[in-house]
Amino acid sequence: MTEAVLLVGGKGTRLQPLTINTPKPMVPAAGVPFLAHQLARARAAGVDHVVLATSYLAEVFEPYFGDGSAHGLRLTYVTEDEPLGTGGAIRHAARALTSGPSDPVLVLNGDILTGLDIRGLLLRHERAQADVTLHLTRVASPGAYGLVPTDADGRVLAFTEKPQRPEEIVTDQINAGCYAFRREVIDAIPGDRPVSVERETFPGLLADGALLHGVVDASYWLDVGRPASFVQASADLVRGVVRSPAVPGEPGEHLVLPGARIEPGARIGGGTVVGSGAHIAAGADVQGSVVLDGARIEADARVRASMVGSRARVGPRTVLDGAVIGDHSRIGADNELREGARIWCGTAIPDAAIRFSAV
């Protein structure tokens, strides 16, 4: 049996306003909650029991995912009274695991989309007889992440979380948010206070001489914690750039969910998903975007790389480019909202009120 802990308790502040009423893992990507893709990938890798470590808006997960049987998994929910951070949450969730002390336990951040060969990571973990094995990926701008240099054998040499000085950037390998832990290593994490696995547990293990092994993998990887990357992830899932068994349809340039209405003369593409009950009017052009359930895009609006919240309305001829429109917002006609613009849930913007703004 292979068990996994999935960390889904963060507040998702970088993804606000989408995460005001919905925890980040439940925000839909390619037509289903983002978490559904992670569960499907875990199952495909042979995981049969997943413990969801919940905290923020914990109550919304179980009504959707239930006991997991519809997803081919057994799901257990463990909720923290107070957020315990990534390490504390792993330790807290471990109470629901049945693995023995030497067994490997997979741990996944709830906001990563990756094509990683999870089974391969577990094999490398066993082969290295490591205490913890980390998935590492290479990025062009590593400064915003946790850096993890390794030696020629893959042994981790250091952890530098979000380096402040240029000379600290000694590698382009970053912590990709997927780990195999030996069970007893989890049990040694303090259970009574918040702990960061990245800032405390991993550096502490290294200082104590533990064997931390890094597996550098070049497959698809995206941290969906920011709006632009979340929209990108959804589009990549729709287009099949990264494959997920949970996408409700075949790969293509768009995904239109049952009950959506696309008027003749509207154009949708670039991996756009149109949610159930949403309406795209004639002449509208929607590319590489997420249009959630019940939203309306009016005539001749142009929407690119944006997220339109559920039941939001985008007025005629309005332009969205890299914008996030909160649920139930109403954007009047002839507005222009570009890179970084975020409209809070339920906001009303009159006609022609905003031109080219990062709100």
Dist CA 167 CA 143 (whole Å):
11
Q: Is 147 in the site for ligand GTP (CB under 6 A)?
A: no
Give Cβ neighbours of residue 90 (< 8 Å, ≥ 6 apart). 5, 7, 53, 107, 181, 186, 189, 197
Paired tokens of 132: 């913890």
CB of 14 to ligand GTP, least distance (A): 3
CB of 17 to ligand GTP, least distance (A): 12
**From 27, 39, 53, 118, residue interacting with ligand GTP (rule: CB under 6 A):** 53
Determine how β-strand 32-33 pairs with β-strand 28-29: antiparallel
Q: Which is nearer to ligand GTP, 8 or 305 (CB)?
A: 8
CB of 298 to ligand GTP, least distance (A): 31
Q: Which is nearer to ligand GTP, 145 or 284 (CB)?
A: 145
SS3 label, residue 12: coil
Q: Is 31 in the site for ligand GTP (CB under 6 A)?
A: no
Q: Is 225 in the site for ligand GTP (CB under 6 A)?
A: yes
Could you tell me which stretch among 47-55, 152-160, 274-282, 342-350 binds ligand GTP (CB under 6 A)? 47-55
Our CA angle for 83, 67, 188, nearest 5°, is: 40
Paired tokens of 50: 């997943």
CB of 132 to ligand GTP, least distance (A): 16
Residues 59-118 that bind ligand GTP (CB under 6 A): 80, 83-86, 89, 109-111
What single-letter amino acid sits at 8? V
- Binding residues for ligand GTP, how many (CB under 6 A)? 23
CB of 201 to ligand GTP, least distance (A): 13
Beta strand spans in 122-172 (E) = 132-138, 146-147, 160-161
Dist CA 291 CA 253 (whole Å):
14
How far out from the chain centre does Cα 270 lie? Answer: 20
Dist CA 316 CA 246 (whole Å):
33
**From 4, 8, 268, 290, residue interacting with ligand GTP (rule: CB under 6 A):** 8
**From 2, 5, 10, 201, residue interacting with ligand GTP (rule: CB under 6 A):** 10
Q: Which residue has the tokens 């222009």?
A: 336
**From 12, 227, 271, 322, residue interacting with ligand GTP (rule: CB under 6 A):** 12
Q: Which is nearer to ligand GTP, 113 or 206 (CB)?
A: 113
Q: Which is nearer to ligand GTP, 23 or 294 (CB)?
A: 23
DSSP for 178-196, please give it: EEEEEHHHHHTS-SSS---
DSSP H helical ranges for the chain: 34-44, 61-65, 85-93, 118-128, 183-187, 202-207, 227-239
**From 17, 22, 24, 125, residue interacting with ligand GTP (rule: CB under 6 A):** 24
**From 11, 183, 199, 328, residue interacting with ligand GTP (rule: CB under 6 A):** 11
Could you tell me which stretch among 9-17, 127-135, 162-170, 256-264 binds ligand GTP (CB under 6 A)? 9-17
Q: Which is nearer to ligand GTP, 58 or 211 (CB)?
A: 58
- What is residue 356's DSSP assignment? S
Our CA angle for 225, 228, 231, nearest 5°, is: 90
What are φ and ψ of residue 296, in 5° steps? -125, 130
Q: Which is nearer to ligand GTP, 303 or 307 (CB)?
A: 307
Q: Is 13 in the site for ligand GTP (CB under 6 A)?
A: yes
**Within 10 Å of residue 67's Cβ, how many Cβ atoms?**
12
Binding site for ligand GTP (CB under 6 A): 7-15, 24, 53-55, 80, 83-86, 89, 109-111, 225
